[in-house]
Structure 1
Amino acid sequence: MTVVVDLESMMTHRGIGVTQLANLIGITPANLAVLKNGRAKAVRFTTLDALCEVLDCQPGDIIRWVPDAPGERD
């Protein structure tokens, strides 16, 4: 299974950059970049809540699950 972060496309759609969004949700631009680039191991619900509020979206607009193709499981 793969969890895909679609934050960058939502940010582009809303016309907001990393620094501005990070300031609005109260995290560092570096931590937001880690999440945006799909390198985060976890995301706090408070962060997800803030992202959804600022971007006016649902959690599923930012994060989605993609099943493994047959034979790709470890």
Structure 2
Amino acid sequence: MKTAAKARERNRRDRARCRTAEKRVLQVSDQAVAQDKLSSAYTTIDRMAAKGILHPRTAARRKARLARHANSLNS
């Protein structure tokens, strides 16, 4: 398998993992559970940004949106 194809598959898998973590935060309706899921989503998003799969600003934007959602659950 070519190097580019391997990288593409790895990046697809990692981006899917990132999207799944985001969905887990968005599906929860309890703030305490959302904060727990938010922590794991932050870890996943930060790891993707560190690897270069996500741009750092994209990672920051996604984290901010998830935090805003989690904070709005109790309001």
Decide: shared fold, TM above 0.5.
no
Higher-RCO chain (CA-CA 8 Å, sequence separation at least 6): 1
Which is greater in Rg? 2
Q: TM-score, normalised by structure 1?
A: 0.35
Whose strand fraction is larger, Structure 1's or Structure 2's? 1
Query: Which structure has the highest helix share of the two?
Result: 2
